[in-house]
Structure 1
Amino acid sequence: MRFKLTLLLLVANIVTFGFIWRNAGGNAETEISAQAFFSADISEIAVSGANGAAAYALERRGRDWFMTQPFAWRADAFAVSRLLNELRFLDSSIGFSVEEAADAGSSLASYGLEETSAKVSVTDSAGTHELRLGKTTPDGRCVYVLSPDGKVIVPAPRSLFNAVAQTPDDLRSREVFSMRPYEIRAVTVRTAFSGGREQRTGLVRVRGNEESPDAAQWRFETPVAAAADSRLVEKRLGELASLGYVRIVSGDAGDSDAYGLKTPGMRFTLDAADRSRTLLVGNADPSDASGETRFAKLENNPAVFTVPAAPVEAWRDAAREMRDPYFLRFDPAELIGITIHDGNDALVIHRMNVARGKAGEAAEDASVPAVAAAPDVGAVAEPRPEIFSEKSAAAANPVYNSWQMPVAPGSSVTAATKVEPEVIAELIEKLRNLRAVRAPGADDPALSAARRRLCDAFVADVATPEDISQMKFNTPLRIVELEFASPDGKTRSQTLTIAPAAEEGTPIHAKTGTSIYSITPEILDDLDAHAAHFRDRLVFTLPEGGKIVGLKLSELDGHLEKTLLREACPEGVADWAEELEKNAEPFPQALAKLIRATSTVVAVSYLPEPFSRSFEDDAYLGMGVPEPWRYRVDVDVLLADGEKNTPGKTETVTYFLTRRLGGTTQLAGSPAQDCIFRIRQDFIDAMHALTFNRSGIIPEISDPDGISADNIRPAE
């Protein structure tokens, strides 16, 4: 019973409360809104000063407000919103009647509300209404307002007076275009030159690329179809879209051409999805001593104003300044072949395991010969260790680690050879980043027009036979043929031709398609037509399960060879280098370094010539002094399935080395790999420890089998 009674009382209270709220609060709110002077859909506002002098007029068009008096201009959204809020919430509930004022001995003049007072005309869905604004109250917090029907005097907040008293300059939008950069889909700039010539530059926004699908991408449609520098276009477009006027000069340009707007020097058109704006830019403002402002007006708007010169002048040569300087844009994953021509030398490089026309698949391509594995222990073991992992991820990236130099017609390669991932990655990235560059001093007015053209970044969009001949493309420095295969099976090719400087002091030039560009010469070092430049830097690594069980270091003197050390791994030791490192003495530490250095031998770079026992280097010291082989290192490698003394299971890898030619330079030769190369610092340091000041590090060599430790014999 108690529960039912409680529930009944709760329901009764809710019903009673709802009835009270509906008949009290609800009606009170309706009564307040009913006493408002204007509805919410105000469409026009006109303000006149004392004695009827017009101040300004505003008109709503769609969602935007525009000033129609004293001249046509887009209104500032914040300033109009401030005025609307004050007018919408003005009502008669806080006022008193004119009759009550008369009974108290006051007239309209007492409150400053006579006929000559300032007026606000407001048009809404119900018609046009007029307010009069009078004096402020004695405490200065309110201003007297006469209602549209002339019956009620309202002490309105002082904020109403402040909102109405805004000047036309306060109510004008400072922005000329009133468009956001992300809205703009196309930009057209017409620039007038002397002699009546006009250049039209058109840009359009296109969809983003695969690398940046959400980023804005811009392209030139005129005067040439080419990619634009999208970041620079966005930056300049942001400056242009936010362009504000400096001062309003006149409400009407009239027939006078003093402003230079009848034949404007520049004409900008910004197109959005639902509207378009055109700005005419004329002469410099003579009243601005700095010369940094220009007369301007909007098309179909008579008002003349001035704008800062810099944001508009930045577009004067947009076709050159905003063009994308990177003219070799491609996806590295689609690149499947590179052929480099250097005079009579040629080098062909292909991606392995990629069928032509199926760059996105890992299908085996029978047309591409596989790299033959060498039968001895000197062959490179796969998978290749990530030697350059600290430097880049090229070794682990299938886009870069699957290239080879096949035997191809015209190529200098005589045997299929794997390409170094780091080198091919660097070449591909440098090709993608190849950019047109204007030569220093290209804008020097003292230069002839022909020479200035040779120094420009974009030399020619449609090269003529005269251009080809004059710029020496008939005798190029390099010709690079790029082959691409897209995932849909389509193939295409692109040729890059690099020519020497046409004249002394001018840049070298590159040509793709019909276009010619000025470039810097650094790319030539990477476009090496010698196979040694691209050869895989991994010379040797221990095969799986193999280990080093013996080392012999010999000093060479012409045709004589002197044994400096001969060491063998003790029986039962799994890791010889690790065991030696436990001994703090100099010799075991130095020997351990050499064992680790010869476990994986990596070339810093290769020399172009093959291995020769009679090799002599005279290039690194720069004095023409020949440097022959000075040392020989023989490394005994025990294969995984063999025993140390079992014939055929232990193989020897041999290296010939020059003396140390510098802090980071020493050459080595591998007969098994038929190459000469610069060794890494770990190999250099290991050799230095065992060959420099040997008497203090290397112990006396025992006399094996009755042969003297100082045995000197003819070198092999």
Structure 2
Amino acid sequence: MRTKVTLVLLFLNVALFFFIFKFERDWRTERASLEARRRVLGSETADIRTLTLTNSTGTVYALKRTADTWQITEPLVWPANPTVVARIVSDLQFLDHETSFAVADLKANGQSLADYGLDRPKLTLEFSNGASPEGNVPELKTTVRLGDITKIGNRLYLLSPDEKRIHVVSRALLDSLALPIDQIRADTLLTIPVFEARSLRIQSTTRVALRRDGAQRWTFDTPIVARASTDETERTLSALGALRAKAFVTDGLPAALPSAAPLFRITIEGNNRRETLLLGAPVPTPPPDPRPIAPALPPTAPPPIVAPTTQDFYAQIEGRPVVFTVAIPTGEKSLKETLDRAQEALREKRVLDFDPRAVTALTLRAPNTPGDPTLTLQRLEAPTNSAEAATWQIIRRDPGATAPQTIPADGPLVKRLLEQLHLLSAQVFASDAPTAADLERWGFARPEREITLVLTKLTAPTPNIPLSASDSQLTLKLGVANPPDLYAYATVTGSAFVYAVSPDLLRLGSNANPNAWRERLIRELPAGARITALKLTDLTTQKSLLDLTLDEAGNPPPDTPEAKNVLAAIAGLRALRAKAFPQDGFTDRVPLLGEERPWRYRLDASLALPGANAGAPAPITTLFLSERFGGTLQVAGSTEFNVVFELEQAMVDALWRLTFRTDPGPALPKT
């Protein structure tokens, strides 16, 4: 009997010791860990989906996260500022206390929650994490109460979610939560960036729709199918993205909401999303200030800085009931003007869409010029994709000739013409559907110019320039209105559009005369060649005006009069250039100032060419010269090159000093 009792007591002692060391030890460890842990909140902050902040009077604001986007649900429905919300969530996730103590210990110290402002907390924050997609894990809500500010250290009392501990934390959480609603809401209206935008629709009294294709080019879909200006369209998208909500309207709503009667309906489509801004009526202008106007600034004061003008409009975002105001820039070339004139303001003003590097030939035709001259300029072969280094030639088809004649063309002049054509822009969009009477009135029955470009594909295409898979042609027609006005009119074959353009291209850049496009460099001596002698003869008197033998360096004798001008003439002969070609071929008489005139001077230059035989006679190059007229005009001719041309000014000035250096000038009047 005693043995049985002893065994029972022994068993109970073992069970008691096991309980003490197994369970009570864990409780003490957990309590000590809780007191030592600084992090206030745990895993409940890992996936916060909702945030609700209330005070003694009710809800201050409520936030809800959908996917990765936070939205205000109270007091209005509006996107939240992601930066501000991220700061609140971060403050909750990394909230540490300076110290903490148990609520149960307050009574022993003669205190209560009221001493810390936690019986009726000034702010209460409730947040919830996400429920599992399967629905087997319910949504977990957590409530945190914020009390008074500590008297020392500028910290905050916070009651734990289980209401068992009071934490002393930094007041940074309070600063984040107590922001006004104006800072918590996002002020952006349209969030699709320019690079993501795929289409833009502007609907008012008319509907304008634009889309961006795979080559990143914008085109009109309605009301016409035409090219849009990529720069202007992207500038408009940037201006729309820069709009901000100025104020939210809760009282005094307009008679017609923007969603019911929008003045403009602006829709931007991006990657699988769309945003629409509805602009309503303008906000009424407040009455003028009755106070007297300040006196004008004194003349010495700097002029005041004039801010861009704007006009406030009521607005809504489609799908949101909130009405707000937005300031739209007004004035010339402003967003408001673009919206009013979207069909014209966003349209591509360049008439021709081509890459100058892709042009292999161009034809100039002047149907209204006697003889209907036609000129063809052809690009010669050049290194791949280096059209800038290519040379050009003129192809002439003279009457009676069995084969076309080729003449070197002035490359920089052709390049300038291509640039003019590339930049030719509409000053006015004359018509998108002209009638036959319109075309005749604008001179297209017999155009002033027809310019045809032959294009080929480049192996390295230029961005934003679409190129065909094979050679293609563009034909531009330029007409003049009857009666004439300030414009020339342009149209492209295959397109119905008519543009009013600057007439400069007709006056300066599209002459069909082959002489206007000839290479200005007539002859350039090789590096090893030199001029050994120079002789200038007056053909009227057969008198020699200059007869010099040059040294090995190409310099005249030291005592030569006008040596500086002799050197200038020698330089002009080494690289013989023309300012213009007044006629075809060399003739014994040259038309000047309305009459045929004989040549006045002859300039002979003896040459020493590299590789020439020592005993061979020195070749002589000869220029025939006219008199100088008006200080800038002097004509030269060469039988060697079968050409008559105008001299450049430097050569004209040098020859003037050589031909008239002994002229005493008019006699002085007798006194």
Distance in 1, Cα, partners of 2:70 & 2:456: 55
Counterpart in 2 of 1:305? Answer: 324
Q: How do residues 155-174 of structure 1 correspond to structure 2 at under 5 angstroms?
A: 155-174=168-187
Distance in 2, Cα, partners of 1:584 & 1:30: 108
* Cα contact 2:607–2:619 (8 A) shared by 1: yes
Distance in 2, Cα, partners of 1:412 & 1:510: 35
User: Residue 155 of structure 2: which of 130, 139, 142 is its match?
Assistant: 142
Counterpart in 2 of 1:322? Answer: 346
SS of the residue 2:405 aligns to: coil
Q: How do residues 341-420 of structure 1 correspond to structure 2 at under 5 angstroms?
A: 341-342=365-366, 343=368, 344-351=371-378, 353=380, 397-399=388-390, 401-407=391-397, 415-420=405-410
Distance in 1, Cα, partners of 2:232 & 2:260: 31
* Cα contact 1:36–1:89 (8 A) shared by 2: no
2:603 is equivalent to residue 633 of structure 1? yes
SS of the residue 2:249 aligns to: strand
Distance in 2, Cα, partners of 1:117 & 1:545: 98
Counterpart in 1 of 2:417? Answer: 427
Counterpart in 2 of 1:680? Answer: 648
**Structure 1, residues 225-273: CA drift from partner, whole Å, max 9, x if none?**
33322222222211211211110113998xx753343121111111111
Distance in 1, Cα, partners of 2:115 & 2:582: 105
Query: How has the CA–CA distance of structure 1 residues 106 and 411 changed in structure 2, closer, same or farther, with 3 Å as cutoff?
Result: farther
Counterpart in 2 of 1:49? Answer: 55
Q: How do residues 232-381 of structure 1 correspond to structure 2 at under 5 angstroms?
A: 232-250=232-250, 257-286=255-284, 292-310=311-329, 311=335, 313-342=337-366, 343=368, 344-351=371-378, 353=380
Distance in 2, Cα, partners of 1:47 & 1:478: 75
Distance in 2, Cα, partners of 1:237 & 1:411: 59
Distance in 1, Cα, partners of 2:44 & 2:400: 89
Distance in 1, Cα, partners of 2:43 & 2:361: 79
User: Residue 598 of structure 1: which of 567, 573, 576 is its match?
Assistant: 573
Counterpart in 2 of 1:580? Answer: 556
Distance in 2, Cα, partners of 1:422 & 1:106: 95
User: Residue 475 of structure 2: which of 495, 509, 524 is its match?
Assistant: 495
2:114 is equivalent to residue 109 of structure 1? yes
SS of the residue 1:314 aligns to: helix
Tell me, which stretches of 5 or more residues in structure 2 are unaligned?
A: 1-28, 131-138, 288-308, 330-334, 459-467, 665-671
Amino acid in the other structure paired with 1:114: D
2:555 is equivalent to residue 565 of structure 1? no
2:222 is equivalent to residue 222 of structure 1? yes
User: Residue 208 of structure 2: which of 200, 203, 224 is its match?
Assistant: 200
Give the count of matched residue pairs.
Answer: 584
User: Which segment is superposed worse, 321-330 or 418-427?
Assistant: 321-330
Distance in 2, Cα, partners of 1:42 & 1:420: 73
**Structure 1, residues 1-20: CA drift from partner, whole Å, max 9, x if none?**
xxxxxxxxxxxxxxxxxxxx
Q: How do residues 175-190 of structure 1 correspond to structure 2 at under 5 angstroms?
A: 175-190=188-203
TM-score (norm 2): 0.79
Counterpart in 1 of 2:23? Answer: none
Counterpart in 2 of 1:441? Answer: none
2:513 is equivalent to residue 530 of structure 1? yes
Counterpart in 2 of 1:518? Answer: 500
1:284 shift after superposition: 0.3
1:563 shift after superposition: 2.2
SS of the residue 1:161 aligns to: helix
2:100 is equivalent to residue 124 of structure 1? no
**Structure 1, residues 39-68: CA drift from partner, whole Å, max 9, x if none?**
2211100011214x1111001111121101
1:285 shift after superposition: 0.9
Amino acid in the other structure paired with 1:136: I
User: Residue 79 of structure 2: which of 74, 83, 86 is its match?
Assistant: 74
Tell me, which stretches of 5 or more residues in structure 1 are unaligned?
A: 1-22, 209-216, 363-392, 438-456, 619-623, 697-716
Counterpart in 1 of 2:523? Answer: 540
Distance in 1, Cα, partners of 2:50 & 2:526: 88
Q: How do residues 436-451 of structure 1 correspond to structure 2 at under 5 angstroms?
A: 436-437=426-427
SS of the residue 1:301 aligns to: coil
1:93 shift after superposition: 7.4
Amino acid in the other structure paired with 2:148: K
Amino acid in the other structure paired with 1:151: K
User: Residue 69 of structure 2: which of 61, 64, 72 is its match?
Assistant: 64
SS of the residue 2:195 aligns to: helix
1:293 shift after superposition: 0.8
SS of the residue 2:106 aligns to: helix
Q: How do residues 4-23 of structure 1 correspond to structure 2 at under 5 angstroms?
A: none
1:630 shift after superposition: 3.1
Query: How has the CA–CA distance of structure 1 residues 177 and 593 changed in structure 2, closer, same or farther, with 3 Å as cutoff?
Result: closer
Amino acid in the other structure paired with 1:207: A
Amino acid in the other structure paired with 2:548: E
Amino acid in the other structure paired with 2:476: L
1:72 shift after superposition: 0.7
Q: Percent identity, please.
A: 26
Distance in 2, Cα, partners of 1:589 & 1:481: 48
2:108 is equivalent to residue 89 of structure 1? no
Query: How has the CA–CA distance of structure 1 residues 476 and 99 changed in structure 2, closer, same or farther, with 3 Å as cutoff?
Result: same
Counterpart in 1 of 2:303? Answer: none
* Cα contact 2:207–2:222 (8 A) shared by 1: no
Amino acid in the other structure paired with 2:600: R
1:608 shift after superposition: 3.5
SS of the residue 2:347 aligns to: coil
Distance in 1, Cα, partners of 2:663 & 2:282: 85
* Cα contact 2:39–2:95 (8 A) shared by 1: no
2:177 is equivalent to residue 152 of structure 1? no
Counterpart in 1 of 2:19? Answer: none
Q: Structure 1 segments of 4 or more deviating over 4 A? A: 27-35, 287-291, 359-362, 408-414, 543-546, 624-628, 638-645
2:586 is equivalent to residue 611 of structure 1? yes
Distance in 1, Cα, partners of 2:445 & 2:228: 30
SS of the residue 1:602 aligns to: strand
